Structure 1
Amino acid sequence: MNDRIDWTAHYQALDAAHHLHPFSDMGALNRTGSRVIVHGEGVYLRDSEGVRIIDGMAGLWCVNLGYGRQELIDAACRQMHELPYYNTFFKTTHPPVAELSALLAELLPTRFNRFLYCNSGSEANDTALRAVHRYWAVQGKPEKRHVIARHNAYHGSTIAAATLGGMTGMHEQMLSKLEHVAHIGQPYWFGEGGTMDPHDFGLECARQLEAKILELGADKVAAFIGEPFQGAGGVIFPPASYWPEIQRICREHDVLLIADEVIGGFGRTGEWFAHEHFGFEPDVITMAKGITSGYVPMGAVALSDAIADAIIEGGEFNHGFTYSGHPLAAAVAVTNLNLLRDEGIVTRVRHDTGPYFQRCLREALAHHPIVGEIAGTGLVAGIQLAEDPATRKRFDITDAIGTLCRDFSFEGNLVMRASDDRMLLSPPLVVTHAEIDEIVQKARAAIDATAQAIRRAA
């Protein structure tokens, strides 16, 4: 009798029987079986078959310090012994959340000194909405309710955050949506710029915001929300003309500007926050993911002093969560952010690994027959697959092409994400030159295999 257990089959069976995955066709997944990930160290994962995988996506854009950092493990363990949980509802605080708030105030631009806490990016964007509406109410302008967002943006999966997001597939499955949300076009020059040059296209996209504000009435519009670069939408970097014009329009019409930094925050672009790379000044900043390097769930919202002061003077703000400012999450966040700063990791992304990553990608994929564009800076990139790069002609079956390339990548033991026909990379911020070389080589191999499969099918 063979007593050996096939652990892969065991966990696949449990998973198929009881676990519903996010954003998945569960019927198809259960037929093939999930890949069982059992270990992580640095920028690598290992599955239940012992195969090593290089993580080109830092989990879901979040594992900035890489896997297995003992300092984060120790911080969590110490806090579990000291105070595993307490709320901040009953006129109480605790050292980790107070220390985290002071540290964030040091890292953010000077006019951000007060923070609200939650558990995720979705909750952070929900919280930002609540704060914005409360601000206008205490200002005597409760009629300023409308929030403008963009098509093909992702702001989370709760009802409010998913309404803000402009993902068509998500909206089609939502029977309920938040009121007073409008959408404008995305600044996606490669796919939607037509014959316009990037500068003029960026201005035209930004001016859609002004047109929408005037359509709704500036006295009815509370805020505009945008990711500095669109993450899940394809790592779409707007033309340089875009964000300065967005900021001008918001200021001119007394509309608050919310920067969704859930992906871009904490060093991804080589700046502490992505809006600094693009050179604009938001009024509200939402954060999550990299705040703890994904080791513990946490989200946060930074309010500019003008907004925070008004809310403080306006009486009780009826908002919060059981786990707002959770002591374990806050303790891990403090250690994580100190390591990112004290080890010079964000500085290294800006001056060393980020430029190296961008240069290697462009050198490896220059003149590739199905690569139309490489967008990005620091340690984030979007690779546009195209039928004819020279004319910016996209494939007719955009999602199928991306899925094909993603599967080749995963088979080659590189985690590279697909967003329709754009391939996304966002490795841990601790990645080395040698590991970047491996990521780029495996990404090139997956794109080559995709091109070969297209030729065979033609």
Structure 2
Amino acid sequence: MTLAPNSAEARDIAYHFHAYTNAEAHAETGPQIMERGEGIFVYDNHGKRYIEAMSGLWSVAVGFGEERLIEAAVAQMRQLPYYHNFAHRSHGPAIDLAEKLVSMAPVPMSKVFFTNSGSEANDTVMKMIWYRSNALGQPEKKKIISRNRAYHGVTIASASLTGLPNNHRSFDLPISRVLHTTCPHYRKEGRDGESEEEFATRCAEELDSLIKAEGPDTIAAFFAEPIMGAGGVVVPPATYWEKIQKVLRQYDILLVADEVINGFGRTGNMWGCQTCDIEPDAMVLSKQITSSYVPFSAILLNERFYAPVAEESGRIGVLGHGYTCGGHPVGAAVALENIRIIEDEGLVARAAETGAHFLERLQRLADHPFVGEVRGVGLIAAVELQHPEHHDALKPGTLGATMAGLLYERGVISRAMIDSMAFCPPLITSKEEVDQIADALEDALGTMEKMDFPA
């Protein structure tokens, strides 16, 4: 690869250390540089237009270039560009947003704590859980259970909750006190002859067995995404959540719902908890809360969770936790306006309707020899690729990386999760636009069918 010395690509290779990227490969291939966005589209520095079928990173709910969000940020910058919530301080946008989120919650919630990212929020919930256990005189009740293939973030603690091997390798993770149980992916984890309901029952039984083996008095909480995102867009089978929650209630274990991807309409309801009929003790929100126009996240806690934490802060004299930019006034103002747009434009119902059409289009491809499974709900979906003859002989990720490149050539940005292609377009996406995504995928599958993938 030959690049002009002062080109953006050359300077990126020289100075920019990228997230979720093979650093050595990046030095050879270089970056794909985006310059602007408009609606569901982004444009690279060569003027080519792409459908952003991942909403950036599962997050740009209202699309790119939304003037209402830009104006909300500018207005708040002019009035109060920054303040904090330490030591009894507050400001209007944080107060208004906390009230709004509690009023929107799918189950009764008591308080909102503001953070800056989903990773940071999950990390904070873990600290609060340990703090609460100490407040209740239960110093041994500190272990937390997550699931294989879960995604809860990348800080040391939240990456431990994450159940993906590459988030642990060479990082010395997961930390102690974090355990993992079965991923509720029937196609991958179900046994021969086992029905989906039987599989759901086994998932609950395996959780129960893990709790008993570790000791019920040592397990404090269970973390889970209602619909799993980065682990492959896994939609749990019917009765799964009913059975899992029954186990948690039996042992008085807190349930933390990670709504970072699910929340604010992604699953066709405002919350993934509504889609899956979950009654959490805490909810973690980020990404679509501001359509990622500014970094922002929030935690909702019910009174059962909050009250012991508050009492312990009274005993100690302070809650020794917080972030410089937690509850940032610009972020809170943008979040409030973003929620107004979602409500004003009926984007939750639109996600349900457009999503149903999109899944119907994708299901038409389910019999293609290179398609193993189509799954999803609302405007989040995955198409799992397989090789019809020698899939097991291929290096994992080969088909996914190939398909990501083929779609990019066709002006569609997707994301390969090993060999599953994720689709998570903005909530404003029309039926005609999801047809364009499906058409590009179908055309790319035709090309893939003619390619040589040696065993």
Alpha-carbon separation, structure 2, partners of 1:42 and 1:402: 26
8 Å CA contact 1:388–1:394 kept in 2: the answer is: no
Question: Partner residue of 2:276?
Answer: 278
Question: Partner residue of 1:3?
Answer: none
Q: 1:55 to 1:8 in 2, by over 3 A?
A: farther
Q: Which amino acid aligns with 1:154?
A: Y
TM-superposed CA distance for 1:30, in Å, is: 2.1
- Of 275, 298, 301, the match for 1:300: 298
TM-superposed CA distance for 1:447, in Å, is: 2.6
Q: Which amino acid aligns with 1:168?
A: P
- Of 286, 296, 303, the match for 1:288: 286
TM-superposed CA distance for 1:394, in Å, is: 5.9
Residues 145-201 of structure 1 show CA distances to partners (whole Å, capped at 9, x for unaligned) of 000111111111110011111111221121354321111121122122131222211
Q: Which runs of 5+ in 2 are unaligned?
A: none
Question: Partner residue of 2:367?
Answer: 367
- Of 55, 58, 78, the match for 1:61: 58
- Of 425, 428, 452, the match for 2:426: 428
Question: Partner residue of 1:317?
Answer: 319
Q: Does 1:18 align with 2:15?
A: yes
Alpha-carbon separation, structure 2, partners of 1:283 and 1:174: 30
Question: Partner residue of 2:338?
Answer: 336
Question: Partner residue of 1:89?
Answer: 86
Question: Partner residue of 2:383?
Answer: 383
Q: Which amino acid aligns with 2:40?
A: V
Question: Partner residue of 1:150?
Answer: 147
Alpha-carbon separation, structure 1, partners of 2:76 and 2:70: 10
TM-superposed CA distance for 1:269, in Å, is: 0.3
8 Å CA contact 2:107–2:280 kept in 1: the answer is: no
| Residue correspondence of structure 1 range 45-56 to structure 2 within 5 A | 45-56=42-53
Q: Does 1:76 align with 2:78?
A: no
Question: Partner residue of 1:98?
Answer: 95
8 Å CA contact 2:372–2:386 kept in 1: the answer is: yes
TM-superposed CA distance for 1:457, in Å, is: 4.1
| Residue correspondence of structure 1 range 190-269 to structure 2 within 5 A | 190-195=187-192, 196-269=194-267
Q: Does 1:439 align with 2:437?
A: yes
3-state SS of paired residue (1:67): coil
Residues 282-313 of structure 1 show CA distances to partners (whole Å, capped at 9, x for unaligned) of 11111110000010001111101221223223
8 Å CA contact 1:406–1:446 kept in 2: the answer is: no
Q: Which runs of 5+ in 1 are unaligned?
A: 1-5
TM-superposed CA distance for 1:358, in Å, is: 1.4
8 Å CA contact 1:152–1:233 kept in 2: the answer is: yes
Q: Does 1:184 align with 2:181?
A: yes
Could you tell me the TM-score, scaled by structure 2's length? 0.95
Report how many aligned residue pairs link the two structures. 448
8 Å CA contact 2:140–2:217 kept in 1: the answer is: yes
Q: Which amino acid aligns with 1:383?
A: V
Alpha-carbon separation, structure 1, partners of 2:451 and 2:323: 49
Alpha-carbon separation, structure 2, partners of 1:424 and 1:269: 14
8 Å CA contact 1:191–1:394 kept in 2: the answer is: no
- Of 347, 350, 358, the match for 2:349: 347
Q: Does 1:30 align with 2:38?
A: no
3-state SS of paired residue (2:35): strand
Question: Partner residue of 1:108?
Answer: 105
8 Å CA contact 1:353–1:431 kept in 2: the answer is: yes
Alpha-carbon separation, structure 2, partners of 1:450 and 1:129: 44
Alpha-carbon separation, structure 2, partners of 1:14 and 1:78: 34
Alpha-carbon separation, structure 1, partners of 2:231 and 2:348: 24
3-state SS of paired residue (1:430): coil
TM-superposed CA distance for 1:379, in Å, is: 0.2
Alpha-carbon separation, structure 2, partners of 1:54 and 1:191: 30
Alpha-carbon separation, structure 2, partners of 1:124 and 1:395: 40
3-state SS of paired residue (1:359): helix
Q: Which amino acid aligns with 2:252?
A: D
8 Å CA contact 1:405–1:449 kept in 2: the answer is: no
Alpha-carbon separation, structure 2, partners of 1:8 and 1:332: 39
3-state SS of paired residue (1:335): helix
3-state SS of paired residue (2:350): helix
Q: 1:191 to 1:110 in 2, by over 3 A?
A: closer
Alpha-carbon separation, structure 2, partners of 1:266 and 1:39: 24
- Of 162, 166, 169, the match for 1:169: 166
Q: 1:70 to 1:361 in 2, by over 3 A?
A: same
3-state SS of paired residue (2:375): strand
8 Å CA contact 2:106–2:271 kept in 1: the answer is: no
Alpha-carbon separation, structure 2, partners of 1:30 and 1:414: 24
8 Å CA contact 2:73–2:333 kept in 1: the answer is: yes
Residues 102-126 of structure 1 show CA distances to partners (whole Å, capped at 9, x for unaligned) of 1111211241131111110100100
Residues 40-68 of structure 1 show CA distances to partners (whole Å, capped at 9, x for unaligned) of 00000000000000010000000000000
Alpha-carbon separation, structure 1, partners of 2:5 and 2:331: 31
Could you tell me the TM-score, scaled by structure 1's length? 0.94
Alpha-carbon separation, structure 2, partners of 1:273 and 1:7: 48
